[in-house]
Amino acid sequence: MATPSRDGRVLLAGAIAFGVSLACYLAYVLIHPLRWTLNPGDLHVYVGGGLIVRHVLPVYNPHLAAPLYDWPGFRGENLQFTYPPFAAVVFAVVSFIPWSLLKGLSVAANLALLLAALWVTFRALGYRSGRVRLGATLLTAAVVLWTEPVLRTIYLGQVNLALMALILWDLTQPDTKSSRWWKGAGVGIAAGIKLIPLIFIPYLLLARKFRQAAVAAAAFVVTVLAGWVFLPSDSDQWWLHGMFLASRRTGFVSWGGSQSLWALLARMDRGVAAAKPTWLVAAVLIGLLGVTAAAILDRAGHQVPAILACALTGLLVSPISWDHHWVWIAPAVAVAAHYAITVMRAGAHQTWWRAAARWPAIGFWALAAAIVAVYGAWPDSLWGLPTAASHFAFGLIWIAPNSNTEIYTTQGDKTWFLEYHWTGGHWLAGNAYILGGLALFALVLVCALICVVRGAAARSAVTPATDRSE
In a domain, 31, yes or no: yes
| Cβ-based neighbour number of residue 136 at 10 Å | 25
The pLDDT assigned to 409 comes to: 65
State the total domains in the chain: 1
Burial environment of residue 135 by CB neighbours within 10 A (0 to 12, 13 to 18, 19 or more): buried
In a domain, 465, yes or no: no
Q: List the beta bridge partners of residue 270.
A: none
- Domain assignment of residue 279, given as a range: 17-458
In a domain, 200, yes or no: yes
Residues 6+ apart with CB under 8 A from 253: 247, 260, 262, 263, 266, 272, 319, 320
The pLDDT assigned to 384 comes to: 45
pLDDT (tens digit per residue) in 25-81: 998 888 878 877 888 888 988 998 888 888 776 555 555 456 777 776 655 556 788
Q: Residue 349 has what DSSP assignment? A: T
In a domain, 341, yes or no: yes
| Cβ-based neighbour number of residue 310 at 10 Å | 29
In a domain, 7, yes or no: no
In a domain, 1, yes or no: no
The pLDDT assigned to 57 comes to: 63
Buried b / exposed e along 351-381 (16+ C-beta atoms within 10 A): eeeeeebeebbeebbebbeebbebbbbbeeb
The pLDDT assigned to 238 comes to: 82
Q: Which residues of the chain have pLDDT under 50?
A: 1-2, 64, 352-353, 381-392, 467-470
Handedness of CA 135, 136, 140, 141 (dihedral sign): negative
Handedness of CA 161, 166, 167, 172 (dihedral sign): positive
Burial environment of residue 468 by CB neighbours within 10 A (0 to 12, 13 to 18, 19 or more): exposed
Burial environment of residue 154 by CB neighbours within 10 A (0 to 12, 13 to 18, 19 or more): buried
Q: What are phi and psi of 258, to 5 degrees?
A: -90, 120
The angle, 0 to 180 degrees and rounded to 10, between the axes of the packed helices 148-156 and 329-347 is: 150
Distances (CA, A) of 94 to 121, 164, 230: 27, 19, 16
What are the DSSP E strand ranges found in 258-359? Answer: none
In a domain, 196, yes or no: yes
In a domain, 10, yes or no: no
The pLDDT assigned to 301 comes to: 92
